[in-house]
Amino acid sequence: MKKSKSIAQYPYIVWSIIFIVVPLFLILYFSFTNSGGAFTLENYEKLFQPNYMKVFYNSVKLAAISTVLCLILGYPIAYILSKLDPKYRTLLMLLLIVPMWMNFLLRTYAWMSIIGRNGIINTILKAIGLPTMNILYTDTAVVLGMIYNFLPFMVIPIYTVLIKIDQNVIKAAADLGANKFVIFRRIIFPLSIPGVMSGITMVFMPAVSTFVISKLLGGGQYMLIGNLIELQFTTVGDRYFGSAISILMMVIILISMAILSKYEDKDEKEGGGILW
């Protein structure tokens, strides 16, 4: 029996080695070498030039703004959905997920027709006699695109945690005289922290590395880390510097995950203390 289980693991191990370990090793190798194959740190030294540091700063800033706004919008949505009747809850969750079935590129293109100079929003504003807005090819457009594409990744984990909260605990708190605000602050929110942290992780990671949204909605004027990596590999042809940028982005993501994981563990312990 044990032998059959070990044999069943081989395809997964082979797949992981070919498509995960080997590519990571190649990226790491290229980041520390030059076109002649010699060991060098020039690729990493180049990263600290002011123009590239500005790209990293803009990427983290826009990703952080998008993540915070997704949390502000996503938590109430998840909370309201968790309180609905199960049959309506399932239907609304389906409506939330359906847009994700569409191609990511098409969803982003759709926003160009909504916020463009002659888009739907400006057409409505003109019809009611209000001044038009120039949103496309700005930071606002990039943030809107990120929120639209990544909001479900914030809602789903929070919703999943909220519907699993034991209602007996909430009823007990109400019986002891706690009002709705106190119940939310002392019970519901602390217990939903794992979902919040998962949502933050699932939104921040793709937001900080995206290149399609900034390329289309930013018009190429707002280069982020993802755009810089794409440029090095597809246009400039400098896979060595592109690999160094990729490694740096991986480090940023790993550090972010470690920080979020630390706070998640801390909040879970504090939440347990509050409840009891």
Q: Which helix (H) or strand (E) holds 249?
A: helix 239-275
Q: According to the model, what pLDDT value does residue 275 have?
A: 42
Q: According to the model, what pLDDT value does residue 76 have?
A: 95
Q: According to the model, what pLDDT value does residue 207 have?
A: 92
Domain ranges within the chain, ordered by starting residue: 1-31, 42-275
Side-chain-facing half-sphere of 251: CA atoms under 13 Å: 9
Closest CA to 200 of 263, 153, 262, 135: 153
Torsional class of 198: left (φ above 0), alpha (ψ -120 to 50), beta (otherwise): alpha
Q: Which helix (H) or strand (E) holds 172?
A: helix 167-175
In CATH terms, the fold of domain 42-275 is MetI-like fold (1.10.3720)
CA distance 246 to 186: 41
Each residue's pLDDT, cut to its tens digit, for the chain (276 residues) gives 555 556 777 788 888 888 888 999 999 999 999 888 899 999 999 988 988 989 889 998 999 999 999 999 999 999 999 988 888 888 888 888 888 888 888 888 888 888 888 888 888 888 888 888 888 888 889 999 999 999 999 999 999 999 998 888 888 888 888 888 899 989 999 999 989 988 998 999 899 888 889 888 887 777 888 889 988 988 888 999 999 999 988 888 888 778 777 766 655 555 544 444
Q: According to the model, what pLDDT value does residue 273 have?
A: 46
